[in-house]
Chain A
Amino acid sequence: MQPTHSSSRILLPVKVWFIFFSLIAALFMNLVPTGRVPGVPDWVALALAFWCVREPFKVGMAAGFILGIIMDVANAAVMGQHALAYVLLAYGASTLSRRVLWFPFAIQALHVFPLFLATQIVVVAVRLLGGAEFPGWSYFLSSFAAALLWSPLTYVLLLPQYQPLEKDENRPI
């Protein structure tokens, strides 16, 4: 079932528990109190986008919605703010999934960068409509950070799926 993308090796099938674990780990990273330091990437958005691109049938909008609700509570934000943004992100990433994996990592990062930016713009728009203060332009730096982290993250999250390097003469591929 795994298509042979130009940018990837032949991979073992993904394990569901690893997806779950990585999303929980991303949540954990997001809860680390960094205060108001600009440019800290939204790890949950990053992991969610990654799995939506890689495994659009396993991770999708429902996962985005649940993670968004958890983030809203943990961030003391308005309920539904992250949920809305993550659902849109998951949808965007799933639609990209058939196309984006054929490109090298740098181009992939360029593809997902607008998604992260759109996620942040949705959040800002929702909060400004709700009457909050504008957090400053440096808020959008975290999208750049997320896009820069795309290829290292791809490597880390695909590690469990890499094939063992033993050569088998009888295997056709």
Chain B
Amino acid sequence: MSVAGHQPPPFFKRGPAPLARLTFFVIVSLVLLGVDLRYRYLETARQTVALITYPLQRASATPADFLREVGSYFTSVSALQSDNARLHLRQVEAAGVLLRQQQLEQENQRLRELLEMKERQSARGTIAEVLYSARDPFSRKVIIDKGSQQGIAAGQAVLDDVGVIGQVTRVFPLMSEVTLITDKDQAVPVQVARNGLRSVVFGAGGGALELRYLAANADVRPGDTLVTSGLDGIYLPGLPVARVTRVERDNVYSFARIVCEPAGGAEQHGMVLVLEKREAPLPPPPDDADKTEKPAKGKKR
């Protein structure tokens, strides 16, 4: 033992071998990855960690807030004046449309009553502020400052003053995560405003959008506006989503390649409107012809 007059170093008190520890942690990480990517079982764990780190997150967002405040303080008066004048002009321009809109809405409601159609749901929502864009460079997400405490729920559509910017995908108690329409996994059902052609627009990376699966001879032109079709039961119909910038028709492929740019400032910060969850219209009651077919469906052929 203490030949040299001191205790030998504790060789055997260091736990498992490094390689064993590495294997253990790698396996745990891989299991987490698989479970989260495929099944999304980890939302509660994520919420807990998010709540614990919330103070740290808010604290670290303050330098950016501070810089922004300082920047806005030093905005020159002339810039503010021109901004003000421009906004005033825009409001006057919009006033004409808005004044007529009220009358049109009433007229629309009367006509719908006459036709016995279901009333359109009016757009109500919560105003939220974009805190920051998530640092994950593989997806396009932003964090907003309203969460489940303020009644935000996953699936709500998010707009800015020009158009749709995304959808709430994850809700934490005090903030929520919005996946932008430019994200690769985000799809929005749209129709071309000019002719009502329906399709789905996908994020294409690099801040662009892509209209996929439209035939090469589809009637889409550069400059067309895409608005939500409302077929998904999430987005209200008629909200501007994107503008077509380029249409490539190649006979080799059966689909046209249509590139669009988002209408709203999807990649910019600011105030956004989180629309209330849309109550999907109930399907019409099945009539007798459907009832006779139902047993055949149940057998699954």
Q: Which A residues contact B (CB, under 8 angstroms)?
A: 24, 27-36, 57, 60-62, 64-65, 68-70, 73-81, 83-84, 87-88, 91, 94-95, 124, 126-127, 130-135, 139
Contact = CB atoms under 8 A, between A and B. Distances in A.
Contact of A76 (B56, B59, B143): B143
A35 B131 CA distance: 11
B36 A79 contact: yes
Given A35-B133, A62-B25, A65-B25, A84 B56 contact: no
Contacts of A28: 56, 59-60
A79 B137 contact: no
Interface string B236-251: 0000000000000000
Interface of B: prevailing SS: helix
Contacts of B205: 133-134
Given A28-B59, A135-B137, 10 more contacts: A31-B53, A31-B61, A33-B135, A62-B21, A65-B29, A78-B37, A83-B28, A87-B26, A91-B18, A132-B139
Contacts of A139: 137
B137 to A, nearest CB: 4
> What are the 3 A-B residue pairs with the smallest beta carbon separation, nearest first?
A33-B132, A80-B32, A84-B29
B45 A76 contact: no
Contacts of B138: 77, 124, 127, 132-133, 135
Contact of A78 (B18, B25, B36): B36
Contacts of B46: 73, 79
B22 A34 contact: no
Most buried by A among B32, B49, B141: B32
A71 B137 CA distance: 13
B246 to A, nearest CB: 19
B21 A79 contact: no
Contact of A79 (B14, B22, B42, B53): B42
B64 interface: yes
Interface of B: 14, 18, 21-22, 25-26, 28-33, 35-37, 42, 45-46, 49-50, 53, 56-57, 59-61, 63-64, 131-139, 141, 143, 170, 177, 184-185, 203, 205
Given A33-B61, A69-B49, A78-B36, A132 B25 contact: no
A100 to B, nearest CB: 16
Contacts of B29: 65, 68, 80, 83-84, 87
A103 to B, nearest CB: 22
Interface of A: prevailing SS: helix
B31 to A, nearest CB: 8
A122 B136 CA distance: 14
Given A65-B28, A76-B177, A95-B18, A81 B33 contact: yes
Contact of A31 (B31, B42, B57, B185): B57
Contacts of A62: 21, 25
Nearest to B138: A132
Given A32-B61, A70-B53, A78-B37, A61 B21 contact: yes
B171 to A, nearest CB: 12
Most buried by B among A76, A80, A83: A76
B25 A31 contact: no
Most buried by B among A27, A62, A75: A75
Given A32-B61, A133-B138, A79 B25 contact: no
Contacts of B56: 24, 27-28, 31
Given A78-B33, A87-B22, A91-B22, A34 B28 contact: no
Most buried by B among A33, A34, A91: A33
A125 B31 CA distance: 16
Contacts of A24: 56
A69 B134 CA distance: 15
B259 to A, nearest CB: 15
